[in-house]
Amino acid sequence: MSMSKQKVVEVTYDDLPLVCPRPGDEIWNSHPKVMLPIQETGKSKCPYCGTDYVLKDWDPKRKLH
């Protein structure tokens, strides 16, 4: 049995635009800040640390300006 240390973070539209690492994260300075396009699919993965983000109130019909 393998134990995954994969981090999953739930966010809402109020948290957008989504960046990783997020302000207040313990790893805030562990890699360059990267913008994550989460609003198209409701999910995104950080290419640096592998953190998975889920937009818990995702609505595919919602438009962002």
For the chain, how many structural domains are there in total? 1
Residue 62 lies in a domain: no
- pTM of model > 0.95: no
CA-based nearest residue to 55, from 5, 4, 6, 17: 17
Per-residue pLDDT of the chain (65 residues; tens, 9 = 90+): 444 566 899 999 999 999 999 887 776 567 999 999 999 899 999 999 999 999 999 988 886 64
Residue 53 lies in a domain: no
- In angstroms, the CA 24 to CA 31 distance is 14
Q: What is the dihedral of CA 23, 26, 32, 34, to 10 degrees?
A: -50
For residue 8, what are the domain limits?
1-30
Residue 21 lies in a domain: yes
Residue 20 lies in a domain: yes
Residue 37 lies in a domain: no
Residue 1 lies in a domain: yes
Both tokens assigned to 37: 């396009």
Residue 63 lies in a domain: no
- In angstroms, the CA 37 to CA 20 distance is 11
- In angstroms, the CA 12 to CA 53 distance is 10
